[in-house]
Amino acid sequence: MTKKIILTITSLFVLFTPEKSINTILKASPLQTETVINKIDTATTHSIFNISNLGPYVFPVKGKVISPYGKRGHRFHPGTDIKLQLGDTVRAMFKGIVVRSGRYYGYGLLVILKHPDDIETYYAHLSKCIANVGDTVNPGDVIGLGGRTGRATTTHLHFEIRYHAKAYNAQKLFDFEQQKLIAENYSEETPVKLADSKSDTLAAPINTEKNVHEEKIFHIIKKGDTLFSLAKKYGTTVNNICKLNHLSENTILKIGRKLKIQ
Ligand SMILES: [Zn+2]
């Protein structure tokens, strides 16, 4: 049955794709054929992906889900927020390759892992990135420490799962509080089109700089704030804050003053 479907779809593909020779199609590995089917499926009905190819998993942190994936006012929240304490270890959920490790606008300090089948996981608002770009990490490896860098009102992990660069609801696959698998497959009518959505944590695909530069972050100075503590909190540098606000490092911060952070 499955074979028949593959053959039918492959034939259609050949019919409508004259530039692809039959040989190319026949040489395709089962995995590639599977991808072709997924793509057709995505285009015509709804998006489906399967996490069973990702192998074993370990939950990145243990904590309460303080904000789920989904609509948040008129914004869209593309990930799951899990409460943690400053400095808690954040672990790689699946085996993967580190493709980003560093500050990224509203995400603050962010680690992105790339997994098979164009699936990625995002770990944001860290206080420290430990994994380096190019590293291969195994499930459970510590990739960073928890924090509240970027656009975050409390220390937490913003976790995202993306498939073909679109963010999906990880809570349909995993129960983060009970630390249990819910389903291996994901299907959803309308995955979030990241380029169109806005969220508290930036929803723009990582290579779409346009949305990102519109994002501005301000901080109202409170008692006890120092340039150093603010730089640490937002994952930036004292120098950057000084430049943005035309300050010198020795300027006394007045309580209530609005500082531009980015
Ligand atoms: Zn979040």
What distance in angstroms lies between residue 159's CA and the mean position of ligand 1's atoms?
7
Cα of 215 vs centre of ligand 1, distance in Å, is: 15
User: 97 and 33 in one domain?
Assistant: no
Both 117 and 77 in a single domain?
A: yes
Q: Which three-class secondary structure state does DSSP give residue 50?
A: strand
| HEC assignment per residue over the chain | CHHHHHHHHHHHHHHHCCCCCHHHHHHCCHHHHHHHHHHHHHHHCCEEEECHHHCCCCCCCCCCEEECCEEECCEEECCEEEECCCCCEEECCCCEEEEEEEECHHHCEEEEEEEHHHEEEEEEEECEECCCCCCEECCCCEEEECCCCCCCCCCEEEEEEEECCEEECHHHCEECCCCEECCCEEEECCCCCCCCCCCCCCCCCCCCHHHHHHCCCEEECCCCCCHHHHHHHHCCCHHHHHHHHCCCCCCCCCCCCEEECC
How far does the centroid of ligand 1 lie from the alpha carbon of residue 262, in Å? 19
Is residue 41 located within the same domain as residue 91?
no
Residue 146 CA to ligand 1 center (angstroms) comes to: 13
Same domain? 107 vs 189 = yes
| Structure tokens, 246 | 């035309």
- Rounded distance from Cα 1 to ligand 1 centre (Å): 42
Give me ligand 1 centre to Cα 241, in Å. Answer: 24
Same domain for 94 and 149: yes
The whole-number pLDDT of residue 186 equals 77
Q: How many domains does the chain have?
A: 3
Q: Do 6 and 32 lie in a common domain?
A: yes
| Spatial distance between the Cα atoms of 260 and 99, rounded to a whole number of angstroms | 29
211, 229, 249 - which closes a domain: 211
Distance 242 CA to ligand 1 centre (A): 28
pLDDT for 15 equals: 37
- What's 226's domain CATH number? 3.10.350.10
One domain for residues 254 and 227 = yes
CA-based max dimension of the chain: 73
- Is residue 194 domain-shared with residue 140, that is, in the same domain? yes
30 and 133 part of one domain: no
CA of 199 to the centre of ligand 1 (A): 8
Q: How far apart are CA 163 and CA 175, in angstroms?
A: 19
What is the pLDDT, as a whole number, of residue 232?
75
* C-alpha of residue 8 to centroid of ligand 1, in Å: 42
CB-based contact 122:110 (threshold 8 Å): yes
Q: Do 38 and 160 belong to one domain? A: no
**Class of residue 234 by CB neighbours under 10 A (exposed 0-12, middle 13-18, buried 19+):** buried
CATH number at residue 150: 2.70.70.10
Question: Tell me, what's the pLDDT at 181?
Answer: 94
The pLDDT of residue 50: 87
Residues 207 and 223 in one domain: no
- Rounded-to-integer distance, Cα 71 and Cα 199, Å: 9
State the SS3 of 111-169: EEEEEHHHEEEEEEEECEECCCCCCEECCCCEEEECCCCCCCCCCEEEEEEEECCEEEC
- Helix, strand, coil percentages, rounded to 5, for the chain: 25, 30, 45
**How many Å lie between the centroid of ligand 1 and the Cα of residue 77?**
6
pLDDT beneath 50: ranges in the chain: 1-45, 190-215
Range of the domain at 32: 2-45
pTM: 0.60
Regarding whether 121 and 33 lie in a shared domain, the answer is: no
Query: CA nearest 145: which of 68, 60, 72?
Result: 60
